Structure 1
Amino acid sequence: MMNRRDRDSKNHIALLAGGISSERAVSLESGRAVQEALTGVGYRVETLDPAEPGFIDRLRTGGFDAAFNVLHGGVGENGSIQGLLEILGIPYTGSGVLGSALSCDKNRSKTLWQALGLPTPAGWLLEPDVSLPPPFPLPWCVKPVDQGSSVGVSRVTSADRLQEAVDAARVYSGQVLIEPWIAGGEYTVGFVGEVILPSIRIETPREFYDYVAKYEDPATRYHCPSGLPAQDEAALGELALRAARALGVSGWGRVDFILTPRLEPHLIEVNVAPGMTGHSLVPMAARTVGWSFADLCRNILAQVRGGSGDG
Structure 2
Amino acid sequence: MVEINRAKMRVAVLAGGRSSEREISFSSGKNVVDALRTAGFGEVEMLDPASETFLSDLTGGSFDVAFIALHGEGGEDGKIQSVLDFCGIPYTGSDVTSSALAADKDLSKVMYERAGIPVAPGVSLVRGQSYDLDEILSIVSDHCFVKPAVNGSSYGITYVKKAQDLQAAIDVAFGFGDKVLIEKRIEGTEITVGVYGGDNLRALPIVEILKQEDADFFDLRVKYISPDKIHRIPAQISEADYSRAQELACAAHRALGCMSVSRSDFIVSEEGPVILETNTIPGMTDTSLYPDEIRHTDDLTFPEVCASFIQMAIDRAEK
Q: Same fold (TM over 0.5)?
A: yes
Name the CA shift for 1:246/1:184 in 2 (closer, same or farther; >3 Å).
same
Deviates further, 7-16 or 170-179? 7-16
Matches within 5 A, 1:1-311: 5-8=3-6, 11-43=9-41, 44-127=43-126, 128-133=129-134, 134=136, 135-136=138-139, 137-193=141-197, 194-205=201-212, 206-216=215-225, 220-260=229-269, 262=270, 264-290=272-298, 291-304=300-313, 306-307=316-317
Task: Give me the whole-angstrom Cα distance separating, in 1, the residues matched to 2:125 and 2:262.
Answer: 28
SS at match of 1:303: helix
Task: Give me the whole-angstrom Cα distance separating, in 2, the residues matched to 1:170 and 1:284.
Answer: 33
Task: In structure 1, give the amino acid aligned to 2:89.
Answer: I
Deviates further, 161-170 or 26-35? 161-170
Aligned residues, how many?
306
Give the structure-1-normalised TM-score.
Answer: 0.92
SS at match of 2:74: helix
Displacement of 1:302? 2.5
SS at match of 2:166: helix
Provide the alpha-carbon RMSD of the alignment: 2.1
Gaps spanning 5+ residues in structure 2: where?
Answer: none
Task: In structure 1, give the amino acid aligned to 2:211.
Answer: T
Gaps spanning 5+ residues in structure 1: where?
Answer: none
Name the CA shift for 1:49/1:143 in 2 (closer, same or farther; >3 Å).
same
Give the structure-2-normalised TM-score.
Answer: 0.90
Task: Give me the whole-angstrom Cα distance separating, in 2, the residues matched to 1:23 and 1:232.
Answer: 32
Task: In structure 1, give the amino acid aligned to 2:182.
Answer: I
Task: Give me the whole-angstrom Cα distance separating, in 1, the residues matched to 2:257 and 2:21.
Answer: 23
Q: How big is each residue's C-alpha offset from its partner over 1:227-284, in whole Å with a ceiling of 9 and x where there is no partner?
A: 3343432221111011121111111110111111x26111111101100011111111
Displacement of 1:308? 8.3
Aligned partners of 1:186 and 1:202 also within 8 Å? yes
Name the CA shift for 1:6/1:233 in 2 (closer, same or farther; >3 Å).
farther
Aligned partners of 1:33 and 1:276 also within 8 Å? yes
Q: How big is each residue's C-alpha offset from its partner over 1:81-140, in whole Å with a ceiling of 9 and x where there is no partner?
A: 111111111111100001000000000011122233320112211130332241322201
Aligned partners of 2:195 and 2:250 also within 8 Å? yes
SS at match of 1:239: helix
Task: Give me the whole-angstrom Cα distance separating, in 2, the residues matched to 1:241 and 1:13.
Answer: 28
Displacement of 1:38? 1.1
